[in-house]
Amino acid sequence: MEKNSSLRLVRRSPWLFHFNSGGCNGCDIEVVASLTPKYDVERLGAILTSSPKHADILVVTGPVTRQTLGSLRMIYDQIPEPKVVLAIGTCACSGGVFRGGYNVIGGVDKVLKNVICIPGCPPNPRMIYSIIKKFYENQLGGADENGSSKPEKE
Ligand code: SF4
């Protein structure tokens, strides 16, 4: 199988499952903002599902902590293949302001594969919308050898 082909395999309406792995809730508010009428990712067929078994994309906010690592892995394992992880915010991308804390492991790409990073503290909901739109249009690519990718500039 070609490198990162799972990114291109999300060809249907991308259903999302959201998990806060240890953030301050600022990024969670922007995830919710991307769903509300101004940005409205639901117009792209995306919905927030309450079960990881129905999801295509795992949306993670906050750094990975020792306390949440087990839950994060359990949720990830329940999402059917092919699956992609959206790391929303600088903390999810790298640990952010929490990096170096005694209980902080770091960014999501330290523990999961196929992570697409949307940096910012918090990121603008427009960026979240633009990535979901790329899934919808099946145009996402350019990930590095670790499976991580940065969004294109608008
Ligand atoms: S990136 Fe900023 S807003 Fe998001 S969880 Fe970290 S500190 Fe909070």
Cβ–Cβ < 8 Å for 78, 49: no
- Dump pLDDT digits (tens) for 57-83: 999 999 999 999 999 999 999 999 889
Ligand 1 pocket, mutate which of 25, 27, 117 (most atoms under 8 A from CB): 27
Give residue for tokens 């600022």. Answer: 26
Q: What is the pTM of this model?
A: 0.86
Residue 26 CA to ligand 1 center (angstroms) comes to 5
Cβ–Cβ < 8 Å for 139, 106: no
Q: List residues near ligand 1 (CB under 6 A).
A: 23-24, 26-27, 61-62, 89-91, 96-97, 121-122
Q: What are the C-alpha distances in Å from 100 to residues 39, 55, 65, 117?
A: 34, 31, 11, 19
> Along the chain (154 residues), what's the average pLDDT of each consecutive run of 10 residues?
49 89 97 94 92 96 98 97 94 96 96 94 95 77 47 46
Query: How far is Cα 82 from Cα 66, in angstroms, rounded to an integer?
Result: 26
